[in-house]
């Protein structure tokens, strides 16, 4: 169980999320925290083809007790911090469980 808890949780997708025509998201956590270093380069609003083109942001789980890194490419643009957190959590809710 400890080994499992130590593993980063990763989920990748290139499919619609909540009606967006094209969304690519990633959410990952290490031991319930935002991992370091953060990956990706693109800033919110920059052009992208997939989540990995966008810089990850640290997000807080809705219960406030855990954290995760999220990145989202939505309709060819890197998402804002709030949207990246929301969409990546929708794509991989297990990071907050």
- pLDDT (tens digit per residue) in 83-92: 999 999 999 9
pTM of the predicted model as reported, rounded to 2 decimal places: 0.76
Question: Phi and psi dihedrals of 69, rounded to 5?
Answer: -100, 135
- The DSSP call for residue 76 is T
Ranges assigned E (strand) in the chain: 9-14, 23-29, 57-60, 67-74, 77-78
Q: What is the pLDDT of residue 65?
A: 85
Mean pLDDT, to the nearest integer, of 34-63? 96
Q: What is the pLDDT of residue 9?
A: 34
Query: Tens digit of pLDDT for each residue in 52-90?
Result: 999 999 999 998 889 999 999 999 999 999 999 999 999
Q: What is the pLDDT of residue 18?
A: 52
Calpha distance 66→30 (Å, rounded) = 10
């Amino acid at each position: 169980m400890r080994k499992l808890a130590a593993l980063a949780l990763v989920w990748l997708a290139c499919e619609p999320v909540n009606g967006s025509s094209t969304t690519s998201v990633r959410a990952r956590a290490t031991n319930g925290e935002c991992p370091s270093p953060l990956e990706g380069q693109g800033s919110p609003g920059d052009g992208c083809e997939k989540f990995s083109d966008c810089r990850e942001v640290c997000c807080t789980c809705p219960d406030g007790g855990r954290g995760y890194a999220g990145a989202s490419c939505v309709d060819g643009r890197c998402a804002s911090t709030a949207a990246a957190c929301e969409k990546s959590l929708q794509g991989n809710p297990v990071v907050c469980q």
